[in-house]
């Protein structure tokens, strides 16, 4: 069952334009000029119940605008959207009872209150009877291990503890869809991992649909099975994480440490990225040449150490951001778009 | 009262309560803010006592009437800023995209926004207004009217701020205009309406709603008139409805931003 259905969703903002300097400012008073910016341009997608979806893109790609239209914050200019069968722009309040939002960079809690008082406030917002709110707080406190600081004012909590409280507060009403915007931003690796496993647990036990936006590849890789990439207001890729990796990871990075400098073979499928004395970095296109065959061209006696790695997902995503969107959407991904920069 | 309305009011009251609790974190600042606002208002009594020592009548008002006017203006301003302080900084929320936090919650956006901030010094204004009433012209009937007009005045004042603030949905830099308009309402509210003539009087009843928020209520308290009372109540409802309508029309143009602050 689809919990989110977006069809030709569009949003255009009119942005003021002015020429530089004071003269430009004066001119803009009498002849204001605006330009239409298509923040979201006819995007269509669906999300199934219980799915964990990464909705990512570079800054200004249109992902926040899309989420805001899905949650009823913004009215679409065109197209149709249904979340849990509800049109967010028409029945925002009704929808809000069934969705949750967590914005990693933005506090939703009252900082002078304790997490417990905050949860009671959110319980009141979602019309939970006192007994039900209490039971839910106990349950969430157990899942998120909040007991140690549930009666400490939020302003005195560490960032990791605060994010756990933000997550718990957004779940007080058992939302069916949870929108997470950079939930692990600014957290240390241990806390990040902790938050990710909590999100996974939530998805598994409560079957909550997760709609995640993040610039942290770790979040995307460890949580989501499907990835939607937006750029310039359009969906440039909508694919499963496995499929994405399979098609893009046909290039390997081979780092070699040699006894002495060697002349490297000039063969199709092997690109020398860097050579500094005995230290060599190669890129092998396994679509053209197998790793095994590539290594045969290097004198094994001269080899001190070897490291073979995949191209980081971060680089793959960066490359997709740069690529022309339409040719990538649901099309075969041959990985040839990958460039050497940053490898 | 329906459960939905009860729940809305419960959340609004909780919001105001938590706002006041936040301000009470520093007890000294909390109390001095209230006390000094009341004292600040009290300094104007001296000014009016001096003026009335020179003339017996200013714009048809005696000293007692001017004090009543001041008291009502202060309590009206106070109540509006205790309950609905955010109405007066609405352009900031609109321009900087800070309405998002209220739009994702299953409650009335407008009520949630209005009650999301409290001005502590406004408690001083409200108390000052009540003290002035008690000192200068207390009677049981006048007390009840004073309380009623404090409520209608606060609603009119908030609705006017909401109307002016909502202009920011349409116009860039409308916040300065909105600020001037709402502060002019306070300025005019502290002078007897008898000193204003012609176009200015027209302005004070039809453009800046100080006439129905303060002047008419003071006249009713001085000389009760049921027709005028109904007119004030009707005007309060009409202006509120207009402000709510304009706010929601504007909300459709809201363009958000990447900021989100709910309780700042």
Q: Closest to B103 (Cβ–Cβ): which among A92, A107, A126?
A: A92
Which residues in chain B are contacts of A75 at CB distance < 8 A? 252
Q: What percent of the residues of chain B are helix, what percent strand, and what percent coil, each to the nearest 5? A: 80, 0, 20
Across the interface, of A65, A71, A113, the residue whose CB is closest to B18 is A113
Confirm whether A334 is domain-assigned: no
ipTM score assigned to the predicted complex: 0.80
Cβ within 8 Å, pair B263-A110: yes
CB contact under 8 A, B256 and A105: no
Cβ atoms of residues A72 and A89 within 8 Å: yes
Q: How much is the pLDDT for B25?
A: 82
CB-CB: which of A101, A110, A121 is closest to B104?
A101
What CATH number did the domain enclosing A267 receive? 3.30.70
Say what percent of chain A tops pLDDT 70.
Answer: 92
Residues A37 and A105 grouped into a single domain: yes
- Residues from chain B that touch A103, judged by Cβ atoms under 8 A, are 260
With contacts defined as CB-CB under 8 Å, which chain B residues touch A108? 101, 260, 262
Chain B (10-39) residues lying within 8 Å, Cβ to Cβ, of chain A: 10-11, 14, 18, 21-22, 25
Contact A124 B261 (CB under 8 A): no
Q: With respect to residue A85, please indicate whether it lies within any of the assigned structural domains.
A: yes
- A119 and A254 together in one domain: no
Query: Which chain A residue shows the shortest CA-CA distance from B172?
Result: A16
A232 and A254 housed in the same domain: no
Among residues A202, A228, A245, the one where a domain terminates is A245
CB contact set of A141 (below 8 Å; sequence gap of 6+): A147, A150, A168
Could you report the per-residue pLDDT of A106-144, keeping only the tens digit for each? Answer: 678 888 889 999 999 999 999 999 999 999 999 889 888
Are the beta carbons of A124 and B252 separated by less than 8 Å? no
Domains of chain B, by residue range, sit at 7-251
pLDDT confidence of B130, banded at 50, 70, 90? very high
A272 and A280 in contact (C-beta within 8 Å)? Answer: yes
Do residues A227 and A254 both lie within one domain? Answer: no
Residues of B whose CB is below 8 A from A12: none
Q: What is the pLDDT of residue B155?
A: 98
Q: Do A298 and A186 share a structural domain? A: no
Residue A329 falls inside a structural domain:
no
Q: Say if CB A184 and CB A163 are below 8 A apart.
A: yes
Q: How far is A134 from chain B (nearest CA, A)?
A: 17
Asked, for residue A190, whether it belongs to a domain, the answer is yes
Q: Domain residues for A25? A: 2-245
Q: Provide the pLDDT confidence category of residue B1 given band limits of 50, 70 and 90.
A: low
Report if residue A60 sits inside a domain. yes
Whether A275 and A240 map to the same domain: the answer is no
Are B106 and A94 in contact (CB < 8 Å)? yes
The answer to whether residue A7 sits within a structural domain is: yes
Number of domains in chain A: 2
- Residue A14 and residue A43 in one domain: yes
φ, ψ (nearest 5 deg) of residue A333 = -105, 110
């Amino acid at each position: 069952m689809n919990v989110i259905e977006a069809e030709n969703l569009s949003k255009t903002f009119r942005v003021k334009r002015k020429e530089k300097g004071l003269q430009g400012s004066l001119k803009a008073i009498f002849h204001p000029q605006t330009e239409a910016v298509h923040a979201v341009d006819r995007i269509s997608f669906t999300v199934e119940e219980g799915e964990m979806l990464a909705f990512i893109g570079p800054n200004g790609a249109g992902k926040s605008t899309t989420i805001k239209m899905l949650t009823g914050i913004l009215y679409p200019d065109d197209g149709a959207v249904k979340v849990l069968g509800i049109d967010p722009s028409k029945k925002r309040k009704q929808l809000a009872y069934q969705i949750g939002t967590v914005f990693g960079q933005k506090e939703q809690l009252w900082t002078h209150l304790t997490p417990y008082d905050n949860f009671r406030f959110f319980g009141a917002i979602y019309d939970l009877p006192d007994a039900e709110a209490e039971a839910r707080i106990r349950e969430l406190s157990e899942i998120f291990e909040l007991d140690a600081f549930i009666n400490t004012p939020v302003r005195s909590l560490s960032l990791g503890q605060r994010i756990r409280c933000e997550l718990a507060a957004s779940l007080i009403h058992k939302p069916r869809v949870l929108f997470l915007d950079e939930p692990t931003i600014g957290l240390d690796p241990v806390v990040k991992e902790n938050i990710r496993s909590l999100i996974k647990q939530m998805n598994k036990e409560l079957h909550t649909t997760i709609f995640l936006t993040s610039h942290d590849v770790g979040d995307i890789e460890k949580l989501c099975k499907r990835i939607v990439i937006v750029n310039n207001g359009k969906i440039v890729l909508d694919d499963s994480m496995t499929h994405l990796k399979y098609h893009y990871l046909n290039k390997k990075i081979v780092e070699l440490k040699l006894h002495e400098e060697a002349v490297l073979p000039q063969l199709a499928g092997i690109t020398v990225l860097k050579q500094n004395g005995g230290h060599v970095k190669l890129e092998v296109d396994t679509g053209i040449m197998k790793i095994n065959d590539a290594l045969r061209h290097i004198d094994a006696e001269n080899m001190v150490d070897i490291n073979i790695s995949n191209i980081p997902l971060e680089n793959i995503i960066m490359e997709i951001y740069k690529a022309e969107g339409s040719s990538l959407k649901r099309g075969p991904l041959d990985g040839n778009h990958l460039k050497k920069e940053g490898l | 009262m329906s459960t939905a309305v009860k729940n809305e009011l419960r959340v609004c009251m909780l919001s105001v309560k938590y706002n006041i609790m936040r301000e009470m974190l520093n007890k000294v600042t909390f109390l001095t803010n209230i006390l000094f606002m009341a004292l600040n208002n009290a300094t104007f009594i001296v000014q009016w006592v001096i003026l009335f020592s020179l003339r017996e009548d200013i714009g048809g008002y005696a000293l007692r009437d001017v004090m009543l006017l001041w008291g009502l203006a202060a309590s009206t301003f106070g109540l509006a800023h205790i309950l609905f302080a955010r109405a007066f900084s609405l352009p900031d929320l609109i321009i900087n995209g800070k309405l998002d936090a209220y739009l994702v919650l299953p409650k009335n956006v407008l009520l949630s926004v209005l009650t999301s901030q409290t001005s502590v010094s406004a408690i001083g204004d409200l108390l000052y207004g009540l003290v002035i009433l008690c000192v200068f012209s207390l009677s049981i009937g006048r007390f009840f009217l004073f309380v009623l007009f404090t409520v209608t005045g606060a609603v009119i004042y908030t609705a006017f701020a909401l109307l002016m603030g909502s202009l920011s949905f349409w116009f860039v830099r409308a916040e300065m205009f909105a600020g001037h308009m709402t502060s002019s309402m306070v300025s005019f509210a502290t002078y007897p309406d008898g000193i204003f003539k012609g176009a200015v009087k027209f302005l004070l009843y039809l453009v800046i709603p100080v006439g129905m928020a303060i002047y008419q209520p003071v006249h009713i308290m001085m000389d009760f008139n049921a027709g005028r009372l109904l007119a004030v109540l009707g005007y309060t409802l009409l202006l509120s409805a207009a402000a709510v309508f304009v706010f929601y029309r504007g909300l459709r143009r809201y363009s958000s931003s990447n900021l989100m602050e709910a309780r700042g």
